[in-house]
Amino acid sequence: MSKFWSPFVKNLVPYVPGEQPKLAKLVKLNTNENPYGPSPKAIAAMQAEVNDSLRLYPDPNSDRLKQAVADYYGVQTAQVFVGNGSDEVLAHAFHGLFQHGQPLLFPDISYSFYPVYCRLYGIANEQVPLDEQFQIRVEDYARPNGGIIFPNPNAPTGCALGLEAIERLLKANPDTVVLVDEAYVDFGGETAISLVDKYPNLLVSQTLSKSRSLAGLRVGIAVGHPDLIEALERIKNSFNSYPLDRIAIAGAAAAFEDKAYFEQTCKRVIDSREAVVAGLEKLGFEVLPSTANFVFARHPGKDAATLAAGLREQGVIVRHFKQQRIAQFLRITIGTPEQNQALLDALSSL
Ligand SMILES: *Cc1c(COP(=O)(O)O)cnc(C)c1O
């Protein structure tokens, strides 16, 4: 703490990301990165961008990327926002769409960045408990609110909410924004982007960090009614009007255009997930139904923190959360078949 800090800095509780160990050779299954590389076409597009033109500012509107996203989803470019990772997109949404008198609602078990942004932007919030099966119960959100946000599929549970339930939520809350954070939707979920023309209160965010394997590039998107997008643009242009650099715009657009590679790598992750679930269940784990690139599992006879520490000793890192309700679970990212086997081998030795 320092006397030079603005007073509110003292009260911030920053997000703690999963560890990025400097050691090579670890089987790193703790931050939901994609085990396969980015599209070769995206890499080529980024390499082609590294030239004399870097002396020029990038396109402040990232038009090329917005067009690629609009084409991919069959929407208008005015319905698309892009930012430096979906965390930045979410930050602008909290700032621009959730600062109303009533509390923001989100599940008690969900992305731990949400409470961080609430503190940063002074947004009151209520955490709505998931049911006993760790599912979102739409009826529980029927209360006064200044907005609703949840990951779909949820993180860290991996459980998805169907579009029919999302529509019920949208209809029940016509006066506030419902933000569906689809960081993991490409691994077997169903996107709510198909509903944006019908519901002006729906905003859908996605990231290129997971299914498009570009976590290091920092690109995220949001799709929704042009009025919602305009709020995000107003915030962005009051904060940093050049958020995406030239390399990111080129790489992200090419990643959206390379549909074949994207579909093939998602399928490999999904197939591996089914194998990991089977392997974990054979070892006696209870695994929540996942449509993400990770699974959330607990063992009735083994303490999760002890298991995580034991795995670490064998060079396998998974994520363990201290939050009481989920303290007996491990969140395990799906890796390559070799990494998944290393995980199962290490667990069976424990
Ligand atoms: C990973 C993740 C994000 C953020 O991804 P970026 O890397 O910032 O694009 C957002 N929401 C959830 C639920 C995530 O798991």
Q: For the chain, what are the domain ranges? A: 2-37+260-349, 40-258
User: Is 24's pLDDT higher than 80?
Assistant: no
**Nearest 5°: phi and psi at 149?**
-140, 140
Residue 338 is predicted with a pLDDT of 97
Residue 20 is predicted with a pLDDT of 80
Residue 1 is predicted with a pLDDT of 80
CA atoms within 13 A on the CB side of 162: 2
When pLDDT is cut at 50, 70 and 90, the band that residue 259 belongs to is: very high
Angle between helices 40-49 and 246-257 (to 10 degrees): 150
Mean pLDDT of 123-144: 97
User: Is 182's pLDDT higher than 80?
Assistant: yes
Residue 21 is predicted with a pLDDT of 79
Residue 19 is predicted with a pLDDT of 78
Ligand 1 pocket test: pick from 181, 203, 244 the residue with the most ligand atoms within 8 Å of its Cβ. Answer: 181
Name the pairing type of β-strands 202-207 and 220-224: antiparallel
> 113 vs 20, which has greater pLDDT?
113
The whole-model pTM stands at 0.96
**Nearest 5°: phi and psi at 290?**
-115, 135
And the tokens for 349? 């030795």
Query: What is the pLDDT of the chain when averaged over all its residues?
Result: 96
Class of domain 2-37+260-349: alpha beta
When pLDDT is cut at 50, 70 and 90, the band that residue 16 belongs to is: confident
Residue 62 and residue 85 in contact, taking contact as beta carbons nearer than 8 Å: no
List all residues 6 or more positions away from 210 whose beta carbon is below 8 Å from its beta carbon: 32, 33, 34, 183, 184, 186, 187, 293
And the tokens for 342? 């290393």
Residue at 99: amino acid letter: Q
Name the pairing type of β-strands 330-333 and 294-298: antiparallel
Cα(213) to centroid(ligand 1), Å:
12
List all residues 6 or more positions away from 110 whose beta carbon is below 8 Å from its beta carbon: 150, 151, 154, 155
| Residue keyed to tokens 């995000």 | 232
Q: For ligand 1, which residues put their CB under 6 angstroms from it?
A: 85-87, 111, 151, 155, 181, 183, 207, 209, 215, 220
Count the neighbouring beta carbons within 10 Å of the beta carbon of residue 5: 10
Residue 60 and residue 238 in contact, taking contact as beta carbons nearer than 8 Å: no
Q: Which of 19-33, 86-100, 109-123, 242-256 has the lowest mean pLDDT?
A: 19-33
Residue at 237: amino acid letter: N
CA 286 – CA 182 distance, rounded (Å) = 25
User: Is 54's pLDDT higher than 90?
Assistant: yes
Residue 18 is predicted with a pLDDT of 77
User: Is 350's pLDDT higher than 90?
Assistant: yes
Mean pLDDT of 170-175: 96
Grouping H, G, I as helix, E, B as strand and the rest as coil, residue 37 is coil
Residue 111 and residue 205 in contact, taking contact as beta carbons nearer than 8 Å: no
Q: pLDDT per residue over 210-251, tens digit each?
A: 999 999 999 999 999 999 999 999 999 999 999 999 999 999
| Residue keyed to tokens 């007996």 | 328
C-alpha distances (whole Å) from 331 to each of 18, 32, 136, 166, 202 are 11, 9, 18, 25, 29
Cα(40) to centroid(ligand 1), Å:
23
Class of domain 40-258: alpha beta
CA 201 – CA 185 distance, rounded (Å) = 20
Cα(158) to centroid(ligand 1), Å:
13
Residue 298 is predicted with a pLDDT of 98
Residue nearest to atom 11 of ligand 1 (CA): 183
Q: pLDDT per residue over 276-307, tens digit each?
A: 999 999 999 999 999 999 999 999 999 999 99
Q: Name the strand (E) or helix (H) holding 255.
A: helix 246-257
User: Is 23's pLDDT higher than 80?
Assistant: no
Mean pLDDT of 315-339: 97
When pLDDT is cut at 50, 70 and 90, the band that residue 89 belongs to is: very high
Residue 293 and residue 332 in contact, taking contact as beta carbons nearer than 8 Å: no
Cα(4) to centroid(ligand 1), Å:
32
CA 257 – CA 134 distance, rounded (Å) = 35
Question: Which of 59, 49, 14 is CA-nearest to residue 243?
Answer: 59
Residue nearest to atom 1 of ligand 1 (CA): 183
